[in-house]
Amino acid sequence: MSLTTTTPELQSYLESFTRFEKSAPGQEQGWLRTLRQEGFARFSELGFPTTHEEDWRFTNISPISRTTFQLADGSAKVKARDLDPFRIPGAASQLVFVNGHYTPELSSLGKLPKGVRVCSLAEAIEHARSLEGLLGRYASFDRDAFIALNTAFLADGGHVYIPRGVVVEAPICLLYVSTGNSAPAMAHPRNLVVAEAHSQVTVVEDYVSIDSGVIFSNIVTELYAGPDTVVAHYMIEREDTQALNVSTLRIQQERNANVESHSLLLGGALVRNNVHPVLAGEGGECLINGLFIGKGRQHMDNYMLVEHAQPHCNSRQFYNGILDEQAHGVFHGRIIVHKDAQKTDAKQTNRNLLLSDEAQIDTKPQLEIYADDVKCTHGATIGQVEENALFYLRSRGLDEIAARRLLLYAFASECLERMRTGPVRTYLEALTTSWLPEGMALVQAAGAEVQRNWEELG
């Protein structure tokens, strides 16, 4: 393979890759070796995206592209009690990854129904389980440098397999812990979730920090939801404010599959949250729900790509953003309705509260419709905390801070209420409450809510 560009950063990725290849798990398996090499070659060709590209217009990733990262090793020591705040009560099992490396002594596998497999991807690879044709099947790296890079370095992550007809009620949690590093470090977690027909499962990915430090996490999760499955996926980002986190959730939905993707973005310096479901069987339903709360100089970019490939599917996108101080949020909601996907019902709503004059939101719908009998709606609002509502609560005796917090919580809870009641929701409700900003900017006069309606592009 040859590198067309030889920036110092690319040179450093090449060195990392050469070293990585020598000890990567499953390297003796030809298909995996090839997959990694193809990933790296594609990454080298594509290079990191710039703001000149439509999909990256609002997000400048130079903190990633201009930094030299070393692959994080698994040497960092984390004490079990440091993870206490990050344990979700009621979880069936929790796999713990420290800087991307599975750490069995911190993990608990719990009791799971027969046939269910919950293990690290490295372990699944080492045991030469039949991942060939499955891993990398749906997360195409052809046009995505981050997926390509992840594929090049894929080695560890969570693997969840639910056999046909099995229901796992309690959530399965993948806890990714970043620790402080002396030099900028990178990790490329790769998760593979397979839910066979008629099964049910909830998977939680949770990204946390226990020390401050520059870490670039580049995550790819492939989620296969077989026919008639009920699958919920949660993405929680609550890392330190130096963390760089790019994640891609690629969902493949078969006939009548019911999938929910919930994202809660709270932490990180630069966060890009890609959610890409493909409704590939008739009767599929997909809920894409998210809440992002930014302050300081946080940048949170949510890029949704919902593909309707078959008829009679519906998708619902709801994202709410709360931005304070100089935080910058992005919501890019792209819907593609392929020509066979008649009777598609796709809806998209993005609501934002800006709590300071310097906070910023870019919201952009993008509808590409190639079928003629479909229903697609979208809308976005940007506003401040309403003076009228604040006065109403205060007139009942709540002080200004309490009233404001209650209104923010109410706004946030629109998203929380879309989650199924259970241990994850309960945990996230408490987490969100503790994260909501206090004090904050001046109240704007009533009527400041701006309703924007966007022209359909397709």
Partner 1 sequence: MSLLEIKDLHVKVENHEILKGIDLSVNAGEVHSIMGPNGSGKSTLAQVLARRETFVVTAGEVLYKGKDLLAMKPEEAACEGVFLAFQYPVEVPGISNAYFLRSAVNARRKYRGEEEMDAMDFIPYYKEKMKLLEMDERFMNRSVNEGFSGGEKKRNEIVQMAVLEPKLAILDETDSGLDIDALKIVAKGVNAMRSPDRAIVVVTHYQRLLNYVVPDFVHVLVDGRIVKSGGPELALELEDKGYAGVEGEAVRV
* Interface ranges with partner 1 (CB under 8 A): 386-389, 391-400, 402-403, 406-407, 409-414, 417, 445
Supply the minimum distance, in Å, between the C-beta of residue 130 and partner 1: 46
Question: Judged by CB, which is closer to partner 1: 27, or 444?
Answer: 444
Q: Which two tokens stand for residue 169?
A: 């009620």
CA angle, 9 as apex, 8 and 14 as ends, to 5°? Answer: 95
Q: How far is the CB of 439 from partner 1 (least distance, A)?
A: 16
Measured CA to CA, the distance from residue 449 to residue 458 in angstroms comes to 27
Angle at 191 between CA 187 and CA 196, to 5 degrees: 175
* Smallest gap from residue 325 Cβ to partner 1 (A): 23
For partner 1, the closer CB: 338 or 351 = 351
Task: Give least dist CB 404 to partner 1, A.
Answer: 12
Cβ–Cβ < 8 Å for 272, 245: yes
Measure CA 110 to chain center: 25
Q: Which is nearer to partner 1, 243 or 412 (CB)?
A: 412
Dihedral sign from CA coordinates of 342, 55, 325, 204:
positive
Cβ-based neighbours of 135, under 8 Å, separated by 6 or more: 32, 35, 154, 190, 192, 222
- Report the DSSP pairing between strands 375-383 and 185-187: unpaired
Cα dist from 41 to 27, 191, 206, 311, 443, whole Å:
17, 22, 30, 36, 52
Q: How far apart are CA 200 and CA 387, in angstroms?
A: 44
Give min distance, CB of 423 to partner 1, in A. Answer: 21
How far apart (Å, rounded) are the C-alpha atoms in residues 249 and 235? 9
**Alpha-carbon distance values, 283 to 313, 314, 345, 346 (Å):** 5, 8, 11, 13
CB of 398 to partner 1, least distance (A): 5
Nearer to partner 1, 1 or 410 (CB): 410
For residues 43 and 411, which CB has a smaller minimum distance to partner 1 in the complex? Answer: 411
Q: 281 near 257, Cβ under 8 Å?
A: yes
Distance CA 17, CA 39 (A): 11
Q: How far is the CB of 416 from partner 1 (least distance, A)?
A: 8
CB of 248 to partner 1, least distance (A): 30
User: Measured from the CB of residue 296, what is the shortest distance to partner 1 in angstroms?
Assistant: 25
Query: Cβ closer to partner 1: 225 or 266?
Result: 266
The gap between the terminal CA atoms of the chain, to the nearest Å, is 40
Q: Closest approach of Cβ 419 to partner 1, in Å?
A: 13
In the bound state with partner 1, the residue whose beta carbon lies nearer, of 2 and 434, is 434
Distance of alpha carbon 180 from its chain centroid, rounded?
Answer: 22
For partner 1, which is the closer residue by CB, 54 or 399? 399
In the complex with partner 1, the residue whose CB is nearer, 71 or 406, is 406
Give the angle subtended at the CA of 44 by the CAs of 131 and 246, to the nearest 5°: 65
Distance CA 264, CA 441 (A): 23
Q: Which helix (H) or strand (E) is 35 found in, with range? A: helix 30-46
In the complex with partner 1, the residue whose CB is nearer, 370 or 391, is 391
- Report in angstroms how near the CB of residue 291 gets to partner 1 at its nearest: 12
Identify which of residues 299 and 404 has a Cβ nearer to partner 1 in the complex. 404
